[in-house]
């Protein structure tokens, strides 16, 4: 398959109101890096174990046992999808809280010149707090904060340090900056001192405009094309 980008719709399971992210990543992205993209896109803190479950095959951080997952650092999304033939798969973050995400492949498009950075397109809903106890703990957390008569109100008020929690309030700009920062970090590691070639005139009239308009193009341009 020629180099391509893939659009993914990622839903956090068993959580209301809805928490969803839509991202574009290289189809050949390593699964450990896809994990980093999803952490940044949702606003998780990347402090727990994770696993991608594609059909019956797991990819994550290997352990010493024979039944552990395949090393995510040695597998790409493309190779996993081609080998297994799935159009959707699961992403589990934090084995304790059990935050399960459903990842759906929506569309693939050719890579534009050297522009193959991850892009956060759409943001819906606020990521739950870490260590709140999974979807059911999250539901109780919100109920307890809103109800002074709830038996856990004082406990969770002290834990959260505020009575205010809006599950729809999300800082999309900050999340996009976090995803952009990943691309910059990966470039520093693998392409030190090498600048990207300019994008074709069909996208920008000059390289200078491309350099100064990268973020706005990522947010608006990809929406138009995808």
The pLDDT profile of the chain, 226 residues, written as one tens digit per residue, is 556 999 999 999 999 999 999 999 999 999 999 999 999 999 999 999 999 999 889 999 988 766 789 999 999 999 998 877 788 999 999 999 999 999 999 998 887 766 778 999 999 999 999 999 999 999 999 999 999 999 999 999 999 999 999 999 999 999 999 999 998 899 887 655 444 444 443 433 332 333 334 444 444 554 555 5
Q: Would you say the pTM of this structure is higher than 0.75?
A: yes
Angstrom distance (rounded) from CA 5 to CA 127:
25
Give the per-residue pLDDT at 24.
Answer: 96
Distance between first and last Cα of the chain: 19
Structural contact between residues 12 and 101, judged by C-beta atoms closer than 8 angstroms:
yes
Give the per-residue pLDDT at 225.
Answer: 59
Angstrom distance (rounded) from CA 62 to CA 196:
34
Which residue blocks in 43-198 are alpha helix, DSSP H?
77-84, 134-146, 153-160, 172-190
Scan for tokens 């996993």, then name that residue: 80
Give the per-residue pLDDT at 157.
Answer: 96
Angstrom distance (rounded) from CA 104 to CA 118:
16
3-state DSSP percent of the chain in helix, strand and coil, to 5: 35, 25, 40
Give the per-residue pLDDT at 192.
Answer: 59
The beta-strand segments (E) located in the chain are 4-12, 20-26, 50-54, 57-60, 70-71, 88-93, 99-110, 119-124
Looking at domain 4-126+170-192, which CATH architecture does it have?
Roll (3.10)
């Amino acid at each position: 398959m020629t180099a391509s980008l893939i659009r993914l719709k990622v839903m956090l399971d068993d959580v209301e109101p809805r928490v969803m992210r839509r991202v574009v990543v290289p189809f050949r992205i390593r699964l450990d890096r896809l994990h980093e993209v999803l952490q940044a896109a949702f606003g998780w803190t990347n402090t727990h174990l994770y696993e991608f479950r594609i059909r019956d095959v797991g990819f994550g951080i290997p352990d010493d046992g024979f039944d552990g997952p395949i090393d995510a650092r040695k597998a790409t999304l493309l190779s996993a999808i081609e080998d297994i033939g799935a159009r959707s798969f699961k992403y589990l973050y934090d084995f304790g809280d059990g935050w399960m995400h459903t990842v759906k492949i929506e569309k693939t498009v050719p890579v534009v010149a050297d522009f193959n950075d991850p892009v956060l397109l759409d943001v819906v809903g606020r990521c739950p707090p870490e260590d709140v106890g999974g979807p059911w703990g999250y539901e109780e957390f919100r109920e307890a904060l809103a109800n002074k008569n709830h038996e856990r109100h004082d406990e969770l008020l002290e834990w959260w340090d505020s009575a205010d929690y809006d599950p729809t309030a999300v800082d999309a700009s900050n999340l996009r900056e976090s995803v952009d920062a990943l691309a910059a970090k990966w470039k520093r590691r693998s392409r030190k001192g090498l600048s990207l070639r300019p994008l074709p005139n069909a996208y920008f009239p000059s390289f200078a405009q491309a350099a100064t308009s990268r973020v706005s193009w990522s947010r608006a341009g990809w929406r138009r094309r995808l």
